[in-house]
Amino acid sequence: MVNKEKVILMTKLAAYEQGEGRKVIPIANYFRSDYIGLQLLRSFVAGTIAFFAIVAILIFYNFEKIMQDVYNTDMLAFAKKIGIIYGICMVIYLVISYILAVYRYGKAKSSIKTYYANLKKLNKFYE
């Protein structure tokens, strides 16, 4: 005889694993600090690449003007200015990344608790 509650529970679990669970279960496998650290590291690398890509695009766009002023420009001051802008951009980007990582981890943990509770219910059917 087929137990309706068991079938409904198994269907819910399978739907979760195929849908939301694909994103949530890997997040829940990390400790909080490890997940946040990994996300910050990924954000730092991506932010650095993006910043220098934007700087390269701006340099190529204004290449003629830069070449005309290359001997009149204080390169040390220019490098300091770029470094300060980079630092400010990275701090803002990493703060936003930190907030998003904390939010995603909290949401994943609360979602996975429901999943584990349903697994425990299913396990009781087999006992």
Has residue 110 been placed in a domain?
A: yes
Give domain status of residue 91, yes or no.
yes
Q: Is residue 6 part of a domain?
A: no
Looking at the domain assignment, is residue 49 inside a domain?
yes
Residues 98, 40 contacting (CB under 8 angstroms): yes
Report residue 1's pLDDT band, with 50, 70 and 90 as the boundaries.
low
Does a structural domain hold residue 47? yes
Can you say whether the dihedral through the CA atoms of 96, 99, 103, 105 is positive or negative?
Answer: positive
Strands, E assignment, 42-97: none
Please report whether residue 15 resides in a domain.
Answer: no
pLDDT of 75 strictly over 80: yes
Q: Which two tokens stand for residue 108?
A: 């994943």
Which amino acid belongs to residue 69? D
Count of domains observed in the chain? 1
Predicted TM-score (pTM) above 0.85? no
- Is residue 21 in some structural domain? no
Query: In this structure, which amino acid lies at residue 123?
Result: N
Domain residues for 100?
32-126
Tokens representing 3? 């137990």
16 occurs within a structural domain: no
Instruction: Choose between 50 and 16: higher pLDDT.
Output: 50
For the residues 68-75, what does the mean pLDDT come to?
85
**Under a CB-based contact definition with an 8 Å cutoff, are residues 30 and 38 in contact?**
yes
Contact predicate 25/114, CB 8 Å: no
